[in-house]
Structure 1
Amino acid sequence: MDTVHFIGIGGAGMSAIAKVMLERGVRISGSDLKRSRAAAMLEAMGAIVQIGHDARNISGATQVIVSTAIPDTNAELVAARDAGLPVLTRGQALAEVLAGGRSIVVAGTHGKTTTTSMIVTILRASGVDPTYLVGAGLNDVGTNARSGRGELAVAESDESDGSFLLLEPSIAVVTNVEPDHLDHWGSYEAMRAGFRGFLERAREIVVVPVEERSLTAGLGGGVRAVTFGDGGDIWAEGGRPLAKGAGFTLCTGTDRVEVRMNVRGRHNIWNALAAAGACIQVGVPLDEIGEGLERFRGVERRFQIRGEVAGVTVIDDYAHHPTEIAATLEAARPGPWRRLIAVFQPHRYSRTAALHGDFGAAFNEADRIVVTEVYGAGEQPVPGVTGKLVADAICERIPGRGVAFLPHREDLLLYLRGNVRPGDAVLTLGAGDIHTVGEELLETASEPP
């Protein structure tokens, strides 16, 4: 039997592909620099996982899949190429997993993971058993991937490295397009051209916001465009916060249904519209879409309430772009908390350099803001690009707000222990490892002073 070896198996995208392959009967091995819950899950399913990279780890492999975080000098990657083994990127491997079947693929600057997860939940609630690969675990099922018995597959794509241009979805969904990952694209115009290229690869239908209708102009091959948002084919009316979620009326030109979701925020109503647009195209009735949205329990690291200690609620969110941070804090504001304390870890030096000024106003709904050092995510440090750029931008845009720049983890925890009060919500924000601060706070805190 062939063995597929994953270099960097613990990442969300890599572990999802490995899990689906395992469930399809493929023998899997892999390696990563540290232990993770994803790697442990794969081991429990029968994968052979090594901690640390060593050329000997690829022994017996007939194909290698490599994470985008792995450098060309990696010992396993060098050994695989020297041995003449087929080496695929994560994006190429995802394309292979999806090849030959009908698929819904989600792209966008924000909301990809949540929208993809909503689609999966709606389909499952309507009796469809899709294969799915998502960037984070669905809270109600505890996993981010599964090889389903149905013919339909649902996947989250990645625009950060352009790999979504390798996919050929039946239905392509774009949640939104804003400047990001300009280190790869070079300019916002080039990035938009990339999204246009993604839509051009759709075989049947594209689902886009009304504001991005221009991206669909002149699509060939009989591909049909469906729009969502005000003035679109699918829209929301009466959006409102609920005690623990959001409510709205989901509308099409011929039907409407009341929806009470268990996730907060206007941004999640937007995500729900994108998900509904996709599910309508595969024949799910509107009332079943509403039921599926009400069953949706959120996604790991997306406004995830991690616990409460001494009257302080700890919430974790993956938000790492100014728009995402503003949406997350806006969603938290109607909640029962006395103060919102935002703890932000900037993600990537390239993004911090490009967008630090835009972060200033993003924290307007927070009562106190703490900024930590940049999480490089594999990027090399850039002189002068630190978390202080973000902290200074916040001070400039919202003067008088309590803002602290604490680059060292031990100082951050001490600050929180000394400043939080019963009734506060601490929101850890970022795509790096900032969530561990909330976990430490929950584990070690006693009554705040």
Structure 2
Amino acid sequence: MENNDILSKVKKIHFIGIGGSGMCPIAEILLHKGYELSGSDNAESDTLARIRSYGIPVSMGQRAENIKDAELVVFSAAIKDDNPELVAARQKGIPTVERSVMLGMVTRHFPNTIAVSGTHGKTTTTAMITQVLLEAGLDPSAIIGGKLPLIGGNGRVGKSDTIVCEACEFVDTFLQLNPAISIILNIDNDHLDYFGTVENAIRSFHQFCKQTTGTIIVNGDNANALKAVEGITNARIVTYGFAPSNDYCAADIQPTFRAREQFTVLKKGEKAADISLSVPGKHNIYNALAAFAIGDLMGIDAQQIAKSLHAFTGVHRRFELLGEFGGVTVADDFAHHPTEITATLTAAKEMGFSSVWAVFQPHTYSRTYLLFNDFVKALKIADHVVLSEILAVRETNIYNIYAKDLAEKIPGCVWFKTFEEISDYVIKNAKDGDLILTLGGGDIYKCANMIVEKYKKLGK
């Protein structure tokens, strides 16, 4: 990759969209490595406030003059080609790199890069691993897709040679990485607008495995993930899962009530530790097993790992409990793919609520159209379903698909155009002992906040 040595030749770096959750931690690491940074963004945010607290100058709005005397410009995937700062940089001959390329360059400064890949669970597992390593005194750097309460943000700069980061498969961004340790949590039929088929996705994960130098920790219960490691000889393969044949196995899984998953970890058939999680769902047992394997691989005492996994209370927008109002619990979750929705709603149904309300914002026309029947099946798990309009993200509606099409296939389902209407409807109809759970990868969290505010105004 021709960009590999660029960091050794520059001092001043400008970030377009520096407040983004994926940009902020990279900026922090580069700042601590002695680079002079500047940035721009279009909206105020917690991450932007954090960037400013380091004394990094940030311009609001994007204009050609913001790049000033930058020697390298970093931009996020959301930045369009006609962005005035990007155009100005290219006209001046200033090198420009997309965020995932910069992530690859940054991680190559860390001999022990731990990269967490998979269709679902990357953010939670990356956060779990960060907590395990940090509380064991290993001082890792981290780049996480959501806010980890322990560190008060979505990234940190450590003094060790270890960095933990997410490795996203979308448009093959994870192929910018050469990790020492890789994790494959699962491979599912997502991002088909890019991959076309699951087989193509598996091929990309296989290439990711070929770029791993030390160990690949793979979900041994996931057939697609196992296909991705077939024929891999450049790294050691370690498996985890519920099946006893895995190197790390979850045994004696206890029935759950209100967000407590309890199980025993067996390592090569021998008991390693009893685990009690503070986050709900069988999917989080898988995430915890992956984190346990990493901790064990790095020589952390099994009881210390168990303690950290118990202390882990989740990540922002991952089954995030927002409060209880007049007996009604309100929570928010990032789930936007049928597999994630199934896992989250199944966990919710096992938590002892009278009934579960799924308030879902479909995310992209292509995903809604291509996985239509899977969405219907997943959402039917809830007792009541309320839909918003489909969030377009980067697409136009060439599929002629609408929220009402989903609603027609789900018994009792209703849909509304605005969050205002949705919040009024659920507050009017939710009963004591119910859970209202907002779901989606877009801005449905605003609807959750609206519901909370309305309950507060009602004095609940």
Alignment TM class, shorter chain as reference: over 0.9
Structure 2 letter corresponding to 1:233 = D
After superposition, where does 1:97-176 map in structure 2 within 5 Å?
A: 97-100=106-109, 101-176=111-186
**TM-aligned CA deviation for residue 11 of structure 1:** 2.0
Q: Select between 175-184 and 336-345 the one with higher mean Cα deviation.
A: 336-345
Q: 1:14 maps to which residue?
A: 23
Q: 2:228 maps to which residue?
A: 215
Contact 2:218 2:239 in 1 (8 A): yes
The two structures, once aligned, show a CA RMSD in angstroms of 1.8
Give the distance between the partners of 2:18 and 2:364, measured in 1 at CA. Answer: 21
Give the fraction of aligned pairs with identical amino acids, expressed as a percent.
38
Q: Does 1:180 align with 2:187?
A: no
Q: Does 1:233 align with 2:233?
A: no
Give the distance between the partners of 1:375 and 1:43, measured in 2 at CA. Answer: 31
**TM-aligned CA deviation for residue 381 of structure 1:** 3.5
Q: 1:3 maps to which residue?
A: 12
Q: Does 1:247 align with 2:262?
A: yes
Q: TM-score, normalised by structure 2?
A: 0.92
Contact 1:352 1:385 in 2 (8 A): yes
**TM-aligned CA deviation for residue 363 of structure 1:** 2.0
Give the distance between the partners of 1:25 and 1:295, measured in 2 at CA. Answer: 34
After superposition, where does 1:273-292 map in structure 2 within 5 Å?
A: 273-292=289-308
Deviations 1:243-279 (A, max 9, x none): 4321110110144211111111101001111112222
Deviations 1:302-338 (A, max 9, x none): 0000122233221010000101011111111232422
Give the distance between the partners of 2:365 and 2:62, measured in 1 at CA. Answer: 26
Structure 2 letter corresponding to 1:416 = V
Q: 2:3 maps to which residue?
A: none
Q: 2:369 maps to which residue?
A: 353
Q: Does 1:45 align with 2:35?
A: no
**TM-aligned CA deviation for residue 33 of structure 1:** 2.3
Structure 2 letter corresponding to 1:330 = T
Q: Does 1:381 align with 2:397?
A: yes
Distance 1:308 1:87, change over 3 A: same
Structure 1 letter corresponding to 2:228 = L
Contact 2:202 2:227 in 1 (8 A): no
Structure 1 letter corresponding to 2:131 = T
Q: 1:270 maps to which residue?
A: 286
**TM-aligned CA deviation for residue 448 of structure 1:** 9.1
Deviations 1:99-120 (A, max 9, x none): 1321110000000111111111
Give the distance between the partners of 1:195 and 1:315, measured in 2 at CA. Answer: 33
**TM-aligned CA deviation for residue 282 of structure 1:** 2.0
| Secondary structure, aligned partner of 2:323 | strand
Contact 1:140 1:297 in 2 (8 A): no
| Secondary structure, aligned partner of 2:13 | strand
Q: 1:422 maps to which residue?
A: 432
Contact 1:31 1:51 in 2 (8 A): yes
Give the distance between the partners of 1:265 and 1:408, measured in 2 at CA. Answer: 30
Q: Select between 360-369 and 432-441 the one with higher mean Cα deviation.
A: 360-369
**TM-aligned CA deviation for residue 345 of structure 1:** 0.6
Give the distance between the partners of 1:83 and 1:388, measured in 2 at CA. Answer: 49
Structure 2 letter corresponding to 1:264 = P
Give the distance between the partners of 2:152 and 2:371, measured in 1 at CA. Answer: 33
Give the distance between the partners of 2:253 and 2:294, measured in 1 at CA. Answer: 20
Q: Does 1:31 align with 2:40?
A: yes
Give the distance between the partners of 2:61 and 2:402, measured in 1 at CA. Answer: 29
Give the distance between the partners of 1:261 and 1:320, measured in 2 at CA. Answer: 23
Structure 2 letter corresponding to 1:358 = D
Structure 2 letter corresponding to 1:256 = A
Distance 1:383 1:176, change over 3 A: closer
Contact 2:356 2:434 in 1 (8 A): yes
Question: Any gaps of 5 or more consecutive residues in structure 2?
Answer: 1-9
Structure 1 letter corresponding to 2:246 = G
Ranked by relative contact order (alpha carbons within 8 Å, sequence separation 6 or more), the top structure is 1
Of 194, 203, 207, 1:197 maps to 207
Q: Does 1:86 align with 2:101?
A: no
Q: 2:320 maps to which residue?
A: 304
How many pairs were matched up?
Answer: 442
Contact 1:305 1:316 in 2 (8 A): yes
**TM-aligned CA deviation for residue 31 of structure 1:** 1.9
| Secondary structure, aligned partner of 1:135 | strand
**TM-aligned CA deviation for residue 417 of structure 1:** 2.8
Q: TM-score, normalised by structure 1?
A: 0.94
Contact 1:125 1:291 in 2 (8 A): no
**TM-aligned CA deviation for residue 53 of structure 1:** 1.6
